[in-house]
Structure 1
Amino acid sequence: MDANRSANHAFDFIVIGSGAGSLCAALVMRTAGKRVVILEKTGLIGGTTALSGGVMWIPANRFMREQGIDDSADQAMRYLDAVVGEQQNAPAASRARRRAYVEQSPKMLDFLVEQGLRLRRIPSWPDYYDAPGASIPGRAVVSDLFDVKRLGEWRTKLRPGFIPLPARLEEAMQLPLIKRSGAAKKILLRILGRAIADKLTGRARRTAGEALQGQLLLAALKAGVDIRLDAAVVELLVDNGRVSGVIARIDGTPQRIDARLGVLINAGGFARNQRMLDRYIPGTSASWSSTIEADTGEMIEAGERIGAATAQMSARIGMQIAWPPGSERMQVKAAMQNDICKPHAIVVDRTGVRFARESSSHPEFSERMLARKDTAVPSWMICDSQYLETYMLAGSMPGKKKPQAWMDAKFLRRGDTIEALADACGIDGARLRATIERYNRFVDQGRDDDFGRGDFAYDRWVGDPLRASPDRPSNTLGKIERAPFYAVALYPGDVGTYGGLLTDEYARVLRADGSVIPGLYATGTSSASVMGYTEPGPGGSIGPALTWAYIAAHHALARE
């Protein structure tokens, strides 16, 4: 392609990709009166964020202050110092970048509120690690419900989410309890009431990531952001050492688009690119990912072609998954983190032994699976009849009656004895029995001596809330003792990769020697995470994606 020909279009700022950070950066540019274009290679706005819970991890945020919850940038830094620390193999998680994040993320949030977004704090969602500076009430911020019909003709261009109901995220989390809890039944009635009201009034309220992206899209459209769909960027243009624009294929034709102030890459990671996975995260599969199909990493490679450094390419945001029959083609896989942490269930590897705390966060547990992939991929979730009667399993409601297809496909394995179950899973029966008996002794004594399951605030949050009481040591421990017994295979899926282009505290892309590539910025999973190889709490990906986009746009504006 001839990059020297005259430009087809010229803007002040180009944003590649349409995730949350992209729309945030575009809004910053428009409030400054600048011309900005978003180039999205697919036909839908929202990226993987739209499929997600849309949670943002924002320390010392305005909602915490309003609710009298103590937090500060210094407290958040203590937490990140303890959890992330200084790692030579995680240059994007430098202390300077962590400080920039904890100081700028609340300002980014305030900016979004000023643009008319209705956001709120999840009432309770603890940080993932028991470490100095952790917040037990939690730092998780989400979108309020949003009527997608407000988007008009753009409604069909917003990527659909995973909860097509007017249910707040914390309400949806209570629905598995409806057979056992009067409060949960009331929540269901509240959601159904909203759905009926929406039908009568012509609204279509949505939640989670779809609501966040819908609000951002509406604000961007009102601000006059130019958005081009089916516009795949194929080349970054460099003029006198500075990134000056892009070549994008629009309507099947390569077009040169110039950018006076810079280019921001926010085009996702490479979770759907098996070639890159084999190179950087061997032993993983693109088919395990809950990212969108377009999460294929070509903009990371485009950056590399002009000299950009990459970092932390083996990092990922893991999510243990299962494969119920019929789910093979589903975009969002059957996440199992909330299943394996409930009483009367454990996870063992193929030798029949436990290897991790089942109530740890999904990134941490998936990391443990990959660390022993020779025996733990797949792993086995083991449970008894008490579990099936009480808790959801792989998206099915509580109850022993499961789809016959589950049995026919050997998705759900069954045994009248531990040994029979072990045989059905190809596990040594004596070892599995010894593992279960050891675990049951821990339940009797009220403490898991092997992994500390139930010892931490996050464990108690993901456990069974109806079993929480002062006289019960843990609401995540429960004996496996009532036949028949059941097993489901688990795989270390993901909700995105965590490595990418290396950036500094201003979101500027760096070369391997640490020098800046002028005019080029990156955020989201196109960039190496400020969290290193760790997710400190819910929203450890979306919060930084928005924040570094906000920082990048302000830095580009400061050039004038």
Structure 2
Amino acid sequence: MAEFDETFDWIVVGSGAGSMSSALLMKQAGKSCVILEKAQWVGGTTCKSGGVMWIPNNRFMEPGEDSTEKGIQYLDSVVADGPDTPGTSHERRLTYVVEAPKMLDFIISQGVQLERGSTFWPDYYDEHPGGVKTSRTVTALPFDKNELGKDWASKLRQGFLEMPVKLDDGMKLQFMKHSWEIKKTFFKIAAKVVIGKLTGKRWVTAGAALQGRMLKAVLDKRAADVRVNSPVTEVIVENGKALGVVTVKDGKPWRIGANLGVLMNSGGFSQNQAMRDKYMPGTRKEWSNGIETDEGEMHVELERKGAVLAQMDQMVGFQMSEAPGWDTDYVKPGTQGTTGKPHAIQVDQTGVRYLNEGGSYEEFCENMLIRNRTVPAIPSWAIMDQQFMDEYAVAGKGTAKKNMANWLASGWMRKADSVEALAEAIKVPPAALKATVDRWNGFVRGGKDEDFHRGERAYDNWLGDPFFKDGPNQCMGTIEKGPFYAIPIVPGDVGTYGGVVCDCDSRVLQADGTPIEGLYACGVATASPMGRVYPGAGASVGPSMTFGWIAAKHAAGLGNQIG
């Protein structure tokens, strides 16, 4: 029989959003909890992300705007069931649609301040039955880290947007010159930044705001003993039951027992190149926005203890470019907002367009990897003209007016007076690229992308320019005004999307379909309940929080008593 140095009712490995929601539930149930975080900071990948939750039929939506029926209709329409997607099923998706709004209500009841992410942030496949063209997104209000107190404020992982700005407002600022309303928003944000600096505020938004607020709720309610620098090296399983873990304390192995169970919310394997080469060849850890501790060791450990790994070739793709400074950037230069704008397309190394440049970033990168199996497509090339450069920022690196000389000098951006000359600069067949651009311009003038249907989704247009009037929609514009430009695009990601297979109660399953007693998992440590699809903004954070909460409910024997 295992012996332990200390014991809690509930052990949580990792400190992402699902960890916090499960701890708060266990506190409500009167149980003790410890959260063991490998890194020196709390918050996991959630903290670095947009912190968006995709939650159908949530409390912030208008009456009649959504329903349980519409939510499951949409997921069943876009998510395929099959032997290669054991992480998902109709039952598991339905569990999410039913339980996610309840989880949200519970979290808000614990003092976590949230709001609708936007009134217009469409589902990624909004044309499917049950799809919503408004928004199912939920985000946290901006948060002052000082509310955590001096010690804990310094332990919250850095966010990608550390300003007092709502995420939705921040995304609109790129169109400031077209709207007095957006200009007013900018000046309000600027004033708040100045006032914050004068008064010592330490504002964060997006994922850091969500995790800051979740951490504050956990600390205020004493819901968990949160420990940083506490990697888990082993899950202790005896006679088919998880009894505890081996972690590190004061540099030495430390055994912690669990009366009710262990929740694995340990993240993915985005920073483990050997695992990437095995499961998703053609991708690189350097292109990932996953956090430095995402090394997959718990995937290996859980498989060793009888769990089944699945959907391991999946990642939450996020196309990026090796722009100047990319290797030291905290957030890699994403290009979704580049190729999705008017006057831009993407081609492979033969000069051929092969995808819808708008739409889901996960699908975009998957298409790039699939294309690369038969035609060189990594890197691909974003092709733009002067109309684009006069109007839009490039890869999050600012506008051409300020940065063009540096971009060209670095060799990252290529420029030429004609499409054919640009093709030669990027070593693409000139005739092929010219034919591709001409075909695109014909689609724009004809009002329809006959190859890939760009602009037919509300989400495609959301990625475009709401003030653009010279094309058939908000994301299609001609490429005809020289000079012409190109930048390389590669399949980056915000994290991996495969892991252990779980049931509707978040229990980790063995090959025969039976659960390992007392062992639960959520987040990207699992084979996603969304299968091989990313249905909307926040389709990682929302399920992590919900299935972490469900795991705690099941382990505590609460059933439907809460929510």
Query: Quick check: TM above 0.5?
Result: yes
- Name the structure 2 match of 1:19: 16
- 1:230–1:251 Cα contact (<8 Å) kept: no
Aligned residue runs from structure 1 range 193-232, under 5 A: 193-224=191-222, 225-232=224-231
Mapped to 1, the partners of 2:249 and 2:313 lie a distance apart of 33
Q: Secondary structure at the match of 1:243?
A: strand
- Name the structure 1 match of 2:120: 124
- 1:313–1:528 Cα contact (<8 Å) kept: yes
- Name the structure 1 match of 2:34: 37
- Name the structure 1 match of 2:98: 103
Equivalent AA in structure 2 for residue 51 of structure 1: K
Equivalent AA in structure 2 for residue 369 of structure 1: M
The answer to whether structure 1 residue 527 and structure 2 residue 526 are counterparts is yes
Residue 176 of structure 1 deviates from its aligned partner by: 1.2
- Name the structure 1 match of 2:267: 268
Equivalent AA in structure 2 for residue 171 of structure 1: D
- Name the structure 2 match of 1:182: 180
- 2:237–2:243 Cα contact (<8 Å) kept: yes
Aligned residue runs from structure 1 range 36-435, under 5 A: 36-64=33-61, 67-68=62-63, 70-122=65-117, 123-129=119-125, 130-152=127-149, 153-224=151-222, 225-373=224-372, 374-435=375-436
Mapped to 1, the partners of 2:435 and 2:542 lie a distance apart of 43
Mapped to 2, the partners of 1:132 and 1:307 lie a distance apart of 38
- 1:369–1:376 Cα contact (<8 Å) kept: yes
Mapped to 2, the partners of 1:203 and 1:401 lie a distance apart of 31
Deviations 1:325-357 (A, max 9, x none): 112122321111011111111000000010001
Residue 69 of structure 1 deviates from its aligned partner by: 5.0
Mapped to 2, the partners of 1:210 and 1:171 lie a distance apart of 16
Residue 69 to residue 460, structure 1, CA distance change in 2 (3 Å): farther
Mapped to 1, the partners of 2:292 and 2:64 lie a distance apart of 39
Mapped to 1, the partners of 2:144 and 2:435 lie a distance apart of 53
Residue 314 of structure 1 deviates from its aligned partner by: 0.9
Q: Secondary structure at the match of 1:314?
A: coil
Deviations 1:69-125 (A, max 9, x none): 511111111101110032221111111100100000000000100000110112210
Residue 559 of structure 1 deviates from its aligned partner by: 8.0
- Name the structure 2 match of 1:447: 448
Mapped to 2, the partners of 1:383 and 1:478 lie a distance apart of 10
Size of the alignment, in residue pairs?
553
Equivalent AA in structure 1 for residue 313 of structure 2: S
Residue 6 of structure 1 deviates from its aligned partner by: 3.1
Equivalent AA in structure 2 for residue 118 of structure 1: Q
- 2:5–2:254 Cα contact (<8 Å) kept: yes
Mapped to 2, the partners of 1:258 and 1:401 lie a distance apart of 58
Identity of aligned residues (%): 47
Residue 183 of structure 1 deviates from its aligned partner by: 2.5
Residue 416 of structure 1 deviates from its aligned partner by: 1.1
Mapped to 2, the partners of 1:325 and 1:460 lie a distance apart of 29
Deviations 1:131-174 (A, max 9, x none): 00001111000001111100012000000101111111111111
Of 415-424 and 402-411, the range deviating more from structure 2: 402-411
Q: Secondary structure at the match of 2:255?
A: strand
- 1:232–1:250 Cα contact (<8 Å) kept: no
Q: Secondary structure at the match of 1:356?
A: coil
5+ long unaligned stretches in structure 2: none
Deviations 1:400-450 (A, max 9, x none): 442533222210111111111111101001110010001001111111111
- 2:162–2:204 Cα contact (<8 Å) kept: yes
Of 9-18 and 235-244, the range deviating more from structure 2: 235-244
Q: Secondary structure at the match of 1:214?
A: helix
Q: Secondary structure at the match of 1:352?
A: coil
Q: Secondary structure at the match of 1:232?
A: coil
Q: Secondary structure at the match of 1:375?
A: coil
Equivalent AA in structure 2 for residue 342 of structure 1: K
Of 326-335 and 531-540, the range deviating more from structure 2: 326-335
Equivalent AA in structure 1 for residue 526 of structure 2: S
Mapped to 2, the partners of 1:498 and 1:187 lie a distance apart of 36
Aligned residue runs from structure 1 range 505-520, under 5 A: 505-520=504-519
Mapped to 1, the partners of 2:144 and 2:175 lie a distance apart of 27
Residue 478 of structure 1 deviates from its aligned partner by: 0.6
Of 327-336 and 266-275, the range deviating more from structure 2: 327-336
Residue 362 to residue 69, structure 1, CA distance change in 2 (3 Å): farther
5+ long unaligned stretches in structure 1: none
Q: Secondary structure at the match of 1:276?
A: helix
Deviations 1:518-541 (A, max 9, x none): 000000000010000000000000
Q: Secondary structure at the match of 1:54?
A: coil
Equivalent AA in structure 2 for residue 504 of structure 1: D
Mapped to 1, the partners of 2:362 and 2:56 lie a distance apart of 20
So what's the TM-score if we normalise by structure 1? 0.97
